[in-house]
Amino acid sequence: MIKTFAAATTAALLLVGMASPATADDDATVAYRQDVMSVAGAGMGALGCFMKGECGLDGKVLARSAKAIALVGELSQDAFKDPAADAMVETTAVPAIWENWDAFSGGLQAMTDAADELAVAAREADKAAMGPLMQKLGGTCKECHDNFRK
């Protein structure tokens, strides 16, 4: 499980690093955003698996998972700047992102901050300490999904 997660996260981060939204066409910009967000999904999946008792992960893996989510928040600031209005690929991003950029950007920063805070607690793999921080991080995800995703 740990090796699979590590390999998937490494592959996703490599894909994220290979794309350049500043020079990409709209379809590539959307694909890049999706790749970036898939890293957050992988991180939340690993953290959730541990919190539910479905898998045993050590503190290093848990902290890295949280740090990966924090990185997604940082990368997303640039990844979402261009609305990619002419993209032909399917996207769940809605125009409200660019109409309310300050709120969206602030939500990404809140996600980054919450994930960084969780990473500190996750080092000890202490579910009691991680629980409220997982809720805080999950709340930032929900807020964004409710307001900026179809």
Kindly write down the DSSP assignment for every residue of 23-69, as one continuous string.
TS-HHHHHHHHHHHHHHHHHHHHHHHHHHTTSS---HHHHHHHHHHH
SS3 state of residue 150: coil
145 is in an annotated binding site: yes
141 is in an annotated binding site: yes
Using CA atoms in the order 8, 27, 19, 100, what is the torsion angle rounded to 10 degrees? -90
Point out the annotated binding site for heme c: 141, 144-145
Point out the annotated binding site: 141, 144-145
